[in-house]
Amino acid sequence: MDIFLAYFSFDVADLVLLGVFVLFFLIEAFFYLCYYKAPIRFRRKEAAQESSSLQDSSLPPVSVLIVSSNSAHHLERCLPLILEQDYPDFEVIVVNDGSTDETEELISRLRDKYTNLYGTYLPKTSDNIFGRKKLAMTIGAKAAKHDVILSTEAFCEPVSDKWIAMMAQHVSDEKPVVAGHCYFFEKPRSFASRLIAFDNLMYALQYMSMIIKGKPFSATFRNLAIRKKIFFEHKGFASVLNHQHGEELFLNQILSGENTALCLNPDSFVKSVFEEPESYIWKEYKIAYQQIKKHFHGIGTWIFSLESFSRYAIILAWGVLLAKSIIDFRFGAIAVATALSIVILVVQLVAINKSGKLLRSGKFYFSWPLLNLIQPLRNLYFKSKKNNARKAIGSI
């Protein structure tokens, strides 16, 4: 019996290594339970407070803003779904960012049917130093008749005819900015589409959890409501003119715990309609975001970098414990570490899949361990790339 117990004894080095492992175990548990599950808890409270009916008199007029660059094939699918929203007073403004496809013809054709559709044009020869996306959005914001601007992208479609209503009902004097959700590949089939869906899910969980905790650092213009007054009070994109993709930095500068609300009603979601061959859209967005993220203020960026680091650190600590256990022929420390590894794996899988269900991002079981390790490395890869975004989709 004593010989058997000797195999599961601990020395000082075992305890030190096990302590390191437990530290990263606690870090991972903290992030998954306190941050990555926060949107689930938020949605439960939000659902309990929602009214079964919306009063038209309480809903503000809305200007939907879309910047499109050579995306006629996407607009043809998405615009009718936006124009046929069940909402009392709204307009849709499409800013044609130098398109050479059938965008103008499509807008002209749809305008015959939808009187609330308006189009404006940014010539291809316009100065690109300012940044075409920022210039196009500024033109659209100035053209908007209404104070509430609801921004989305040409490749996004609302999942419900209540999209505008769900987002607009949260806009108030106290909360003039409302962040929504856009998902990619609800049922990803290939590994590439699964990676995109997972990456977008992790990004959404991060910015949503920080909004919930009153320390927002980001959101997405693919689904964002903002008062026109707030946009121009901050002088639009004037503070980020020297950044090619300064739209995300603009959000980082204006968002605060006092002025930002979050909407997670499933009817408020939009989904990307680009197909896997168009995944360069996601790649170019990622490159742009990783380039601009270094200029963000607040704790939002570095706090999740700690979580990414701990993903690898906990595996490394387990590996060192395993090697030492084999060398010393003592298995107490590795047994404890393995048991804790199973616990954290279950916690992570439950949290990610519940969140994935809420945010319509698919299920992650056997693919999750690999995706979880690849995603931070892909972010580092995108961060190292120079942003050679195609001019044709400069609106990303």
pLDDT at position 389: 41
Is the Cβ–Cβ distance between 361 and 201 less than 8 Å? Answer: yes
The burial of 362, by beta-carbon neighbours within 10 Å (0-12 exposed, 13-18 middle, 19 or more buried), is given as buried
User: What is the DSSP secondary structure assignment for residue 162, as one 8-state letter?
Assistant: T
Mean pLDDT score across all residues of the chain: 87
- Of 28-42, 173-187, 255-269, which range is least confident? 173-187
Q: Per DSSP, what are the bridge partners of residue 270? A: 158, 182
| Region of residue 88 (left: phi > 0; alpha: psi -120 to 50; beta: else) | alpha
- 3-state secondary structure labels for all residues of 246-260: CHHHHHHHHCCCCCE
52-61, 124-133, 285-294: segment of lowest average pLDDT: 124-133
Whether 71 shows a pLDDT value over 50: the answer reads yes
Q: Quick one: pLDDT band at residue 386, thresholds 50, 70, 90?
A: low
CA 175, CA 64: separation in Å to the nearest integer?
18
CATH class of residue range 52-296: alpha beta
Question: Amino acid identity of 373?
Answer: L
CB 314 within 8 A of CB 25: yes
pLDDT in tens, 333-376: 899 999 999 999 999 999 999 999 999 998 898 888 999 999 88
Domain map (residue ranges) of the chain? 2-35+301-364, 52-296
| pLDDT reported for residue 390 | 41
- The span from the CA of 149 to the CA of 160, in Å, is 18
Mean pLDDT across 181-201: 87
Give me the mean pLDDT over the 63-83 stretch: 94
Residue 126 has pLDDT above 70, yes or no: no
pLDDT at res. 388: 47
Collapsed DSSP state (helix, strand, coil) of residue 53:
coil
Asked if 307 and 210 count as a contact pair (C-beta separation under 8 A), the reply is no
pTM of this prediction?
0.89
Query: Quick check: 155 and 281 in contact, CB under 8 A?
Result: yes
Question: Bridge partners of 117?
Answer: 92
Q: Where are the alpha helices (DSSP H) in 293-331?
A: 300-328
Q: Mean per-residue pLDDT for 122-149?
A: 81
182 beta partners? 270
Which residue is associated with the tokens 């809305």? 62
pLDDT category at 23 given cuts 50, 70, 90 is very high
Q: In this structure, what DSSP letter does residue 55 have?
A: -
Q: Name the band, by pLDDT with cuts 50, 70 and 90, for residue 387.
A: very low
Phi then psi for residue 60, to 5 deg, are -75, 150
Confidence (pLDDT) at 156: 94
Quote the CA–CA distance of 217 and 206 in Å, as a whole number: 9
Average pLDDT over residues 262-289: 83
Are the C-beta atoms of 270 and 223 separated by less than 8 Å? yes
Cα 67 to Cα 7: distance, rounded to the nearest angstrom:
66
β-pairing, 156-158 vs 224-227, is: unpaired
